[in-house]
C-alpha cells in the first residue's frame, strides 16, 4: 500500500474506505457538537487525540466498512483502501506518521531507522528489535525488508504490486551485522528516502508470486501478521471481521478487548449508528447530518481529507478511443455544479483540485487541469464531437457508423446525494449528446467491478498515504499501474516520466518537474480530479485516537498505533 489507494466509489461513509466529502454541520443532541451550527471550515486534523493515560482498558469498538474486499493483501494492486485499513489492525506498523506527514519509527518494531548517502547512493538501515516476531513464531528480521522489496520492485517477475515506485530504485537489500539488520542500497541518490517501507512489510511467506497474488484472496493469514491485535472471527460471506488482543504482542497492551468491521451500504450504516450497532459513521452530507441530529452523546469531527474525487474513462472502449471524445466528455462536466450537490447546505469551499500530484494546500501546487484545457464548455464540447464525426440523432444522442455514443456509469451507493450527483452528470453529458446510463450496484461489488473494468466511466476516490506526491508519480500515470485503468498510458510516456521526473534526486526539483509534466499527461484525457473535500465522521462520545490507519480518516496523513484507539475514562 503506497501513496494512493482506491477509496472506492462515492459512498457517503467517512468511516468506510469510500467517501464523499462534505463539511460537518451541527447536531443538537448532547451539546458535544463542536460547531453548534454549520461549519465554516475544517481543521487540518480532528480525531480526538488522547494520551493512553486518559483512556481506559477494555471495551469494544464496532466500525462500518464499505466491504471486506476479496483481495486482502494490502500490497497487491487489486487491494483497496478497505484492504489497507484491515491490514493496519493485524500486520506490522513499522513506521508511523504524524498528521503533517512526518514519518517516525515505531519503537516496538525498530531500534534503528536511518538514511544516509554513501558513495553517491542512498542507504537505509533497518534494525528490528529483539522482541519483534511474526505470529507464527519466526523472527522479524532483514528477510521482511528483502521480501517486501522483491515483491514490489517490478511487475515483470510475476508479482502484481500496487506500486513499484521507490522499490524499483533499490539496487540491493542485504543482511547487516546480524539477521535483525537490513541494509537497503539504492542505485543512486534517491529523492524520497522516507518513502520506501513507509506503510509496512510483508511476511517472507508472501514473497512468492502465486501467494502474493492469490494467497490472500478471502484469506487474512493472521499467522503471517504481527502486532497488538490479531484476527478473531472472519466471515467474508457476511462481510465481517473482528480482531482481539494478540498474545504474541510484546509492546503496549492494546486498550480494546475487541474491534469489529462490518460491510455496509450507506443507508445501512446510518441506521446501524442510530441503533447503536456501530460507533462511528460518515456524515458528509446535509441529509446524513440531519439523521444524527438530536442524538445524545455523539460528536461530529471534521478534517481536511487527503483524497481526490476523480472521474476516469476507459479509453479502450470503442466510444472513447478518440482523445477528442474524451476531452469533450470532460469539458461537458460542470464541476461547480457537482460540488454544490455534494456540499448542499454545508458551508464549505476549497481551491480547485487541479492536480493529482499535489493538493491545493501543498507548496508547489499548480492547476494542471486548467493548463491542459479543462473547462466547462458545452458548445466547445459539441464542436469536438462534431469534428470527431459523432452526429446528433433524432433523440439528441450522437451516432457514428451506426453506433450510439452511449456509456455505462456505475454507482455503488444508495445514498440520495450520490444519486443526485449521478443524475447531474447524466444531464450534463446529455446536453452535448452523450447518453450516460447510471447503473446502481451494491457497494460490495466495487473492488471487483473496478479492477475488472466492468464500466465505461467511473467516479471514485484516490486517497494518499503521505505528502510525497511526486514520489508516486508512476503509480498514478505509468501504463502498467493497477491504479491507472484509463488505458491512456504507454511506454513512451513511461520513459518520459522516468527521464524527466524520477531521475531527479532533489525532492523539490523533482516535484517541480512532476508539476511541469502533468498538464501534458492530463491532455490524454483519461482521468481528471473533481474535488478533495474534508472527512466528516460522527462518533460516540469518548472514542479517541480515531482513524489510525493509512488512507482514511480524520488525521490528515497520520498513521497512529492501533493499540492506542480506545474509550476515554
CATH label of the domain that carries residue 355:
3.10.105.10
Q: What are phi and psi of 145, to 5 degrees?
A: -65, -45
**What local confidence, expressed as pLDDT, does residue 2 receive?**
47
> CA angle, corner 305, sides to 472 and 9, nearest 5?
80
pTM: 0.85
Within a domain: 419: yes
Within a domain: 141: no
Nearest to 68 by CA among 249, 242, 240, 222: 240
- In the chain the first and final C-alpha atoms are separated, in Å, by 34
Within a domain: 195: no
Within a domain: 39: no
Within a domain: 77: no
Within a domain: 145: no
Domain that holds residue 517: 307-531
Per-residue pLDDT tens, the chain, 569 aa: give them: 345 555 543 332 222 222 221 221 122 222 233 433 333 356 789 999 999 999 999 999 999 999 999 999 999 999 988 999 999 999 999 999 999 999 999 999 999 999 999 999 999 999 999 999 999 999 999 999 999 999 999 989 999 998 899 999 999 999 999 999 999 999 999 999 988 898 799 999 999 999 999 999 999 999 999 999 999 999 999 999 999 999 999 999 999 999 999 999 989 999 999 999 999 999 988 899 999 999 999 999 999 889 899 999 999 999 999 999 999 999 999 999 999 998 887 777 888 999 999 999 899 999 999 999 999 999 999 999 999 999 999 999 999 999 999 999 999 988 888 899 999 999 999 999 999 999 999 988 888 899 899 999 999 888 888 899 999 899 889 998 877 899 999 999 999 999 999 999 999 999 999 999 999 999 999 999 999 887 899 999 999 999 999 887 899 999 999 999 999 99
**What local confidence, expressed as pLDDT, does residue 5 receive?**
58
Within a domain: 41: no
**What local confidence, expressed as pLDDT, does residue 350 receive?**
87
Within a domain: 210: no
Give how many domains the chain has, as a whole number.
Answer: 1
For residue 101 the three cell numbers come to: 506527514
Residue 161 CB partners (closer than 8 Å, separation 6+):
75, 76, 77, 151, 152, 153, 154, 155, 167, 212, 482
Is residue 160 a contact partner of residue 208, using CB atoms and an 8 Å limit?
no
Amino acid at each position: 500500500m503506497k501513496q494512493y489507494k482506491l477509496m472506492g466509489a462515492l459512498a457517503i461513509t467517512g468511516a468506510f474506505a469510500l467517501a464523499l466529502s462534505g463539511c460537518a454541520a451541527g447536531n443538537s443532541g448532547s451539546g458535544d457538537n463542536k460547531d453548534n451550527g454549520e461549519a465554516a471550515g475544517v481543521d487540518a486534523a480532528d480525531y480526538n487525540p488522547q494520551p493512553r493515560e486518559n483512556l481506559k482498558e477494555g471495551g469494544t469498538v464496532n466500525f462500518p466498512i464499505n466491504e471486506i474486499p476479496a483481495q486482502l493483501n494490502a500490497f497487491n494492486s487489486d487491494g483497496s483502501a478497505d484492504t489497507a485499513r484491515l491490514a493496519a489492525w493485524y500486520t506490522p506498523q513499522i513506521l508511523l506518521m504524524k498528521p503533517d506527514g512526518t514519518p517516525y519509527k515505531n519503537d516496538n518494531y525498530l531500534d534503528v531507522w536511518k538514511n544516509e548517502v554513501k558513495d553517491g547512493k542512498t542507504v537505509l538501515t533497518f534494525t528490528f528489535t529483539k522482541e519483534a516476531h511474526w505470529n507464527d513464531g519466526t523472527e522479524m528480521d532483514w528477510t521482511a525488508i528483502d521480501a517486501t522489496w522483491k515483491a514490489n520492485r517490478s511487475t515483470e517477475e510475476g508479482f502484481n504490486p500496487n506500486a513499484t515506485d521507490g522499490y524499483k530504485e533499490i539496487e540491493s537489500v542485504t543482511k547487516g551485522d546480524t539477521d535483525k539488520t537490513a541494509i537497503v542500497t539504492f542505485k543512486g541518490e534517491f529523492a524520497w528516502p522516507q518513502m520506501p517501507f513507509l506503510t509496512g512489510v510483508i511476511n517472507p511467506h508472501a514473497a512468492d508470486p502465486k501467494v502474493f497474488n492469490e494467497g490472500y484472496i478471502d484469506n487474512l493469514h493472521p499467522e503471517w501478521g504481527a502486532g497488538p491485535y490479531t484476527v478473531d472471527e472472519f466471515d467474508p460471506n457476511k462481510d465481517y471481521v473482528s480482531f482481539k488482543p494478540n498474545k504474541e504482542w510484546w509492546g503496549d497492551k492494546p486498550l480494546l478487548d475487541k474491534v469489529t468491521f462490518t460491510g455496509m451500504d450507506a443507508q445501512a450504516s446510518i441506521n446501524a449508528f442510530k441503533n447503536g450497532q456501530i460507533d462511528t459513521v460518515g456524515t458528509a452530507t446535509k441529509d446524513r447530518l440531519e439523521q444524527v441530529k438530536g442524538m445524545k452523546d455523539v460528536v461530529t469531527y471534521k478534517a481536511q481529507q487527503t483524497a481526490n474525487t476523480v472521474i476516469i474513462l476507459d479509453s479502450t472502449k470503442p466510444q472513447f478511443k478518440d482523445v477528442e471524445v474524451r476531452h469533450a466528455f470532460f469539458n461537458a462536466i460542470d464541476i461547480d455544479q457537482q460540488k454544490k450537490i455534494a456540499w448542499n447546505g454545508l458551508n464549505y469551499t476549497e481551491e480547485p483540485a487541479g492536480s493529482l500530484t499535489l493538493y491545493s494546500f501543498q507548496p508547489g501546487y499548480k492547476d494542471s487541469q486548467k493548463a491542459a484545457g479543462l473547462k466547462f464548455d458545452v458548445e466547445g464540447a459539441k464542436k469536438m464531437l462534431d469534428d470527431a464525426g459523432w452526429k446528433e440523432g433524432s433523440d439528441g444522442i450522437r451516432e457514428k457508423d451506426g453506433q450510439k455514443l452511449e456509456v455505462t456509469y456505475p454507482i455503488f451507493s444508495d445514498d440520495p446525494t450520490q444519486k443526485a450527483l449521478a443524475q447531474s452528470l447524466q444531464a450534463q453529458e446529455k446536453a452535448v449528446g452523450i447518453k450516460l446510463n447510471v447503473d446502481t450496484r451494491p457497494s460490495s461489488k466495487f473492488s471487483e467491478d473496478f479492477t475488472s473494468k466492468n464500466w465505461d466511466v467511473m467516479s471514485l476516490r484516490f486517497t494518499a498515504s503521505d505528502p510525497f506526491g511526486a514520489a508516486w508519480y508512476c503509480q498514478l500515470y505509468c501504463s502498467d499501474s493497477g491504479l491507472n485503468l484509463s488505458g491512456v498510458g504507454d511506454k513512451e510516456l513511461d520513459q518520459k516520466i522516468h527521464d524527466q521526473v524520477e531521475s531527479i534526486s532533489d525532492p523539490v526539483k523533482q516535484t517541480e518537474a512532476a508539476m511541469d509534466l502533468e498538464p501534458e499527461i492530463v491532455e490524454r484525457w483519461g482521468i481528471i480530479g473533481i474535488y478533495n473535500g474534508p472527512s466528516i465522521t460522527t462518533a460516540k462520545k469518548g472514542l479517541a485516537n480515531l482513524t489510525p490507519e493509512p488512507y482514511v480518516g480524520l488525521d490528515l496523513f497520520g498513521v497512529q498505533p492501533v493499540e492506542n484507539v480506545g474509550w476515554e475514562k
